[in-house]
A and B are shown apart, each in its own frame.
Chain A
Amino acid sequence: LQPRIILDSKRFLLTLNRLCFELIENHKDFANTALIGVQPRGIYLSDRIQKRLSEITGKSILYGVIDPTFYRDDYRTSATQLTPKTTSIRFSTENKKVVLVDDVLFSGRTIRSAMDALLDFGRPAKVELLVLVDRRFTRQLPIQPDYVGKTIDSLTSERVKVDWEHLEGADRIWLVPAKNPDA
């Protein structure tokens, strides 16, 4: 079993564009909306979306990144020490519409902790969730995305890997089979 590409560069860009237009449909000129990327790898998606949205709308968009590490529920049970990343929200989220942005939605636990972290910055009017990949039927919490790049069905043992042009040389999404399928 080899890793296979489930979204190539061309369709990746189309998907990003489509997500941006879906956001514009709901948020118009983004006057009261903030985009917040979830660390560690959600920020690459939010960076791109924020850039593309500014190009399309010609407006600057409130933008921050949030690190949910301190709010996680697997802190003591995870095999490796969880290393915190930067949080930077230089505005109040009070009464704003907030769009949380992450790359892959799997168990929903990261988003749960990111929402807890977010609430420490104020009481948003509304929180929405945008993800590039939604892995169906793997949720451990009742969390559903509002905007989805691609929905996939996968085995729990499989891994979804998102490559970024500035890091891995190309924008694409892989489905990586488990090293040991029996495990």
Chain B
Amino acid sequence: MNALSVKHLLGIKYLTREDIEIIFDSTDKFKEVLDRPIKKVPSLRDTTIVNLFFENSTRTRISFELAEKRLSADIINFSASASSVKKGETLIDTVNNILAMKVDMVVMRHPCAGAPVFLSKYIHANIINAGDGTHEHPTQALLDAYSIRERLGGVEGKKVAIIGDIRHSRVALSNIFCLKKLGAEIMVAGPPTLMPMFIDSLGVKVEYDVRKALEWCDVANILRIQLERQEIQYFPSLREYALYFGINKKLLDDIGKEILIMHPGPINRGIEITSDVADSKYSLILDQVENGVAIRMAVLYLLSGRKEGS
């Protein structure tokens, strides 16, 4: 009952609602640990974890590293740019070589969707997906939902609008899976060019007018315009995007209701969100970062406890 139903955290898609609730309950306990004078527990002192980052990251990587250190795990950091990946080594070879040195868990970020799922078929270590291409980013979705739960007392029945670059966002997909499993209503909003086809088949409302989306929602999760993934021009200019789809204080004041503002970071200030909104008291952005460490501690703790074959 209180163990997760999965051996890896490959995506929210594979979790049940009970799994998510177990993770949240453990997160509560780890948040308390992080308030102590000594913010460290010895639970994973016999575990070695490798952080495999084939793509850049600041927040997620630091957050995972801190979570691992606060559980007393030994850690190895790997970044693709300074490794033999550059010499043409395959993913399975890279990982198997690392695992041969007795590593127990793998935290992986990879630019290709499905890379962690692929890897899970070939290796025995627990895998945690820290973002795979434009597919999933499960720990981000968990900490987003946890932050909503913490601020609003629950997720069930809440209206969440996910606004911006839906097409390139792994945060959007994981959030949709996670919030739907927890019983929230979801709307995605943004320019039609940044909206994936058949997104409504996931059971979400689709809106192209940001103002209408904001009028509808309790929580707005604003996504970053992924400038590095704009292989063709999806909108004429950043200025135009900011004008039509950016969230600013005037727009929120006009609507005149309390909307919680979330952003997975890094923020393009002045593009998808202005500074006065990002730094306002309705902003959950730093709560999200704070909760990220506790969520990742919970995930690492719960997965590491599973014995082989159980």
Q: Is the CB of A67 within 8 A of B305?
A: no
The contact string, 1 if C-beta is below 8 Å from chain B, for chain A 59-73, is 000000001011100
* Given known A-B contacts A76-B305, A120-B37, A85 and B3 have beta carbons under 8 A apart: no
A80 interface residue (CB < 8 Å to B): yes
The contact string, 1 if C-beta is below 8 Å from chain A, for chain B 27-52, is 01100110011101111001000000
A121 interface residue (CB < 8 Å to B): yes
Q: Which residues of A contact B32 (CB under 8 A)?
A: 86-88
Q: Is the CB of B33 within 8 A of A76?
A: no
Alpha-carbon separation in the docked complex, A69 to B32 (Å): 13
B2 interface residue (CB < 8 Å to A): yes
Q: Which chain A residue shows the least CB distance to B72?
A: A70
CB within 8 A of B40: which of A69, A82, A83, A120? A120
Q: Which residues of A contact B3 (CB under 8 A)?
A: 80-81
CB within 8 A of A120: which of B36, B46, B301? B36
Number of interface residues of B (CB under 8 A): 23
Alpha-carbon separation in the docked complex, A88 to B41 (Å): 15
Q: What's the minimum C-beta distance from B73 to chain A, rounded to whole angstroms?
A: 12
Q: Is the CB of B37 within 8 A of A116?
A: no
Alpha-carbon separation in the docked complex, A122 to B38 (Å): 9
Q: Is the CB of A81 within 8 A of B41?
A: no
* Given known A-B contacts A75-B43, A80-B3, A86 and B29 have beta carbons under 8 A apart: yes
Alpha-carbon separation in the docked complex, A117 to B36 (Å): 11
B307 interface residue (CB < 8 Å to A): yes
Tell me which of B33, B302, B306 has the highest count of chain A C-beta atoms within 10 A of its own C-beta. B33
> 9 smallest A-B Cβ distances: which pairs?
A70-B41, A81-B3, A120-B38, A84-B29, A83-B2, A70-B43, A81-B305, A81-B2, A87-B32
User: Could you list 18 further interchain pairs (A-B, Cβ under 8 angstroms) beyond the known A87-B29, A92-B37, A121-B38?
Assistant: A70-B41, A70-B42, A71-B43, A76-B46, A76-B304, A76-B305, A80-B2, A81-B302, A81-B305, A81-B306, A83-B2, A85-B29, A86-B28, A86-B29, A87-B32, A88-B32, A120-B37, A121-B37
> Can you list 28 A-B contacts with CB-CB less than 8 angstroms, sorted by A residue number?
A69-B29, A70-B33, A70-B301, A71-B41, A75-B43, A76-B304, A76-B307, A80-B2, A80-B3, A81-B2, A81-B3, A81-B302, A81-B305, A81-B306, A83-B25, A83-B26, A85-B29, A86-B32, A87-B29, A87-B33, A92-B37, A117-B41, A120-B36, A120-B37, A120-B40, A121-B36, A121-B37, A122-B37
